[in-house]
Amino acid sequence: MGDHPVVYEAIIAAASTHGCDLIFMASHGRRGLAGLLLGSETQRVLTHTDLPVLVFRRPEPAAAGSDAETQSGPAC
- Rg from Cα positions in the chain: 16
Instruction: State the burial class of residue 12 (Cβ atoms within 10 Å of its Cβ: 0-12, 13-18, 19+).
Output: buried
**Residue ranges per domain, the chain?**
7-59
Q: Give pLDDT, residue 70.
A: 52
Q: Give pLDDT, residue 1.
A: 54
Its pTM stands at: 0.65
CATH homologous superfamily, domain 7-59:
HUPs (3.40.50.620)
- pLDDT tens for the chain, 76 residues: list them: 567 689 999 999 999 999 999 999 988 777 666 665 556 888 899 999 999 999 988 777 777 666 555 555 555 5
**Cα atoms found within 13 Å of the Cα of residue 42, Cβ hemisphere only:** 14
Q: Give pLDDT, residue 21.
A: 97
Q: Give pLDDT, residue 60.
A: 76
